[in-house]
């Protein structure tokens, strides 16, 4: 039987927007979490700067989002004959944390659409969306019931979070300097791989020997589950700095360095997650999310840690690891079902975009922000 995200409302479709960084994304889901249509546009124009330029990202969202939204709504009508935007019961958008320009563009379009349809606008916390992705129906065998441990690893985040329930999150530990994704990108740049560096470094590492070059494992074995990657990145930089200026780095050495760096990150991640599971004995599931969770070596190590600790391991499919609008729509559905969003055109229309929005400020009570 179809389950609507809003009580006593037939049908029940949610349209969502993601624009917190350099991915422009839209999706339409039904009340059961079935994806009718989705699209992600990865922006060009940042590579020459070696990282995301906020102003370029915001302008790209402004340029491409309206057409992407129209396209996704049209595809939803193909997947669900007869569907029209008037069938939407809510519109959601990531409203923080992230780059403020992109958040303003995405949430602004979402608010306008919600206002025109007379339906609730749901401001979604981007980190909460990653945290709840595993709960998409059918994604994790056996489901992802609360509580579970989340390892969020991306270009801007690296933290272990106890997901105790909707709106109930505890930060067990996080990075004290660079996030894992930042370290991957910076080391890739040192190796001349360009940007984004994570996927390129992973491909190069396949050609190398992970034991070839000794590198530090920051905080390995320490109490707690904090992370540190700045020293590891610096160790790679120092190794390359000692080379004569006219001596090029051959591919074999570059591959060994990439593989050794990746192995060091995986060792640290495995150790920190092992400690985090010890801090959350009630967890029976370990979930990895965020762009870096797409790394096959890291997934393998985390699965091994989970197995050794007697818990299940789950990671979203690769397309849902990176920023996407499916996770935004699903978070809105979870909150609508819990009654955490007022019906009608609610005060959520006034919730501002926020470059910082700690998970600890979330709550699943009616009328709460988000």
91 strand-pairing partners: 15, 121
Least confidently predicted of 2-11, 155-164, 299-308, 357-366:
2-11
* Strands ordered across the beta sheet of 13-18: 35-42, 23-30, 13-18, 88-96, 121-125
Report whether 46 belongs to an annotated binding site.
no
Q: What mean pLDDT, rounded, does the chain reach?
A: 90
Q: Taking Cα atoms as reference points, which of 102, 191, 92, 78 lies closest to residue 132?
A: 92
What gap in Å lies between CA 344 and CA 366, rounded to an integer? 13
Report whether 198 belongs to an annotated binding site.
yes
Report whether 32 belongs to an annotated binding site.
no
Report whether 48 belongs to an annotated binding site.
no
Least confidently predicted of 49-53, 156-160, 201-205, 294-298:
49-53
In the chain, % of residues over pLDDT 90: 78
Residue 108's pLDDT band, with cuts at 50, 70 and 90, is very high
Token representation of residue 209: 């020997």
Q: Taking Cα atoms as reference points, which of 249, 302, 253, 248 lies closest to residue 273?
A: 302
Residue 43: per-residue pLDDT? 81
Q: Give the pLDDT confidence of 8-37 residue by residue, as tens digits.
A: 445 689 999 999 998 999 999 999 999 999
Least confidently predicted of 18-22, 50-54, 75-79:
50-54
Residue 7: per-residue pLDDT? 53
**In three state form, how does the secondary structure of the chain look?**
CCCCCCCCCCCCEEEEEECCCCEEEEEEEECCCCEEEEEEEECCCCHHHCCCCHHHHHHHHHHHHHHHHHHHHHHHHHHCCCCCHHHEEEEEEEEECCCHHHHHHHHHHHHHHHHHHCCCEEEEEHHHHHHHHHHCCCCCCCCCCCCEEEEEECCCCEEEEEEEECCEEEEEEEECCCCHHHHHHHHHHHCCCCCCHHHHHHHHHCCCCCCCCCCCCCCCCCCCCCECCHHHHHHHHHHHHCCCCCCCCCHHHHHHHHHHHHHHHHHHHHHHHHHHHHHCCCCCEEEEECHHHHCHHHHHHHHHHHHHCCCEEECCCHHHHCCCCHHHHHHHHHHHHCCCCCCCCCHHHHCCCCCCCCHHHCCCCCCCCC
- Residue 49: pLDDT above 70? yes
Residue 245: per-residue pLDDT? 66
Q: What is the largest CA-CA distance in the chain?
A: 72
Topology agreement, domain 13-133+321-361 and domain 143-315? yes
45 against 107, higher pLDDT:
107
Class of domain 13-133+321-361: alpha beta
Which pTM value belongs to this model? 0.92
Residue 93: per-residue pLDDT? 97
Report whether 6 belongs to an annotated binding site.
no
Q: How far is CA 184 from the centre of its chain?
A: 16
**How large is the angle between the packed helices 197-205 and 180-190, nearest 10 degrees?**
70
Q: Give the pLDDT confidence of 239-274 residue by residue, as tens digits.
A: 998 777 667 789 999 999 999 999 999 999 999 999
Domain residue spans of the chain = 13-133+321-361, 143-315
Report whether 185 belongs to an annotated binding site.
yes
Report whether 165 belongs to an annotated binding site.
no
Q: Mean per-residue pLDDT for 196-218?
A: 95
Residue 5: per-residue pLDDT? 56
* Strands ordered across the beta sheet of 148-153: 168-174, 158-165, 148-153, 285-289, 312-314
- Residue 347: pLDDT above 60? no
- Residue 224: pLDDT above 50? yes
Q: Mean per-residue pLDDT for 123-146?
A: 96
Report whether 157 belongs to an annotated binding site.
no
Q: What is the CATH number of domain 143-315?
A: 3.30.420.40
């Amino acid at each position: 039987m179809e389950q609507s995200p809003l009580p006593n409302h037939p049908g029940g479709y949610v349209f969502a927007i993601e624009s917190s960084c350099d991915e422009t994304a839209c999706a339409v889901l039904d009340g059961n979490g079935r994806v009718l249509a989705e699209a992600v546009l990865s922006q060009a124009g940042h590579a020459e700067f070696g990282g995301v330029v906020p102003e370029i990202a915001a302008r790209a969202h402004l340029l491409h989002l309206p057409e992407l939204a129209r396209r996704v709504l049209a595809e939803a009508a193909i997947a669900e004959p007869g569907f029209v935007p008037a069938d939407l019961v809510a519109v959601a958008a990531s409203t923080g944390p992230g780059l403020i320009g992109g958040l303003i563009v995405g949430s602004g379009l979402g608010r306008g659409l919600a206002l025109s349809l007379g339906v609730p606008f749901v401001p979604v916390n981007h980190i909460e969306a990653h945290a709840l992705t595993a709960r998409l129906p059918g994604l994790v065998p056996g489901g992802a019931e609360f509580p579970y441990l989340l390892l969020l690893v991306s270009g801007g985040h690296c933290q272990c979070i106890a997901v105790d329930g909707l709106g109930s999150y505890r930060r067990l530990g996080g990075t004290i300097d660079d996030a894992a994704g930042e370290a991957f990108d910076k080391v890739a740049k040192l190796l001349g791989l360009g940007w984004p560096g994570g996927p390129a470094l992973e491909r190069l590492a396949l050609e190398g020997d992970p034991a070839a070059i000794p590198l530090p494992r920051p905080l390995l074995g320490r109490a707690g589950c904090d992370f540190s990657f700045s020293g590891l990145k610096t160790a790679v930089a120092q190794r390359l700095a000692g080379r004569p200026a006219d001596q090029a780095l051959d591919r074999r050495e570059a591959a060994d360095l990439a593989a050794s760096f990746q192995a060091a990150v995986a060792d640290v991640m495995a150790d920190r997650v092992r400690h985090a599971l010890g801090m959350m004995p009630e967890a029976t599931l370990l979930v990895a999310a965020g762009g870096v969770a797409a790394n096959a070596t890291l997934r393998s190590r985390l699965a091994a840690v989970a197995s050794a600790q007697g818990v299940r391991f789950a990671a979203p499919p690769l397309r849902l690891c990176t920023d996407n609008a499916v996770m935004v729509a699903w978070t809105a559905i979870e909150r609508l079902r819990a009654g955490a969003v007022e019906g009608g055109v609610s005060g959520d229309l006034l919730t501002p975009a926020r470059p910082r929005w700690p998970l600890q400020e979330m709550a699943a009570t009616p009328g709460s922000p988000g």
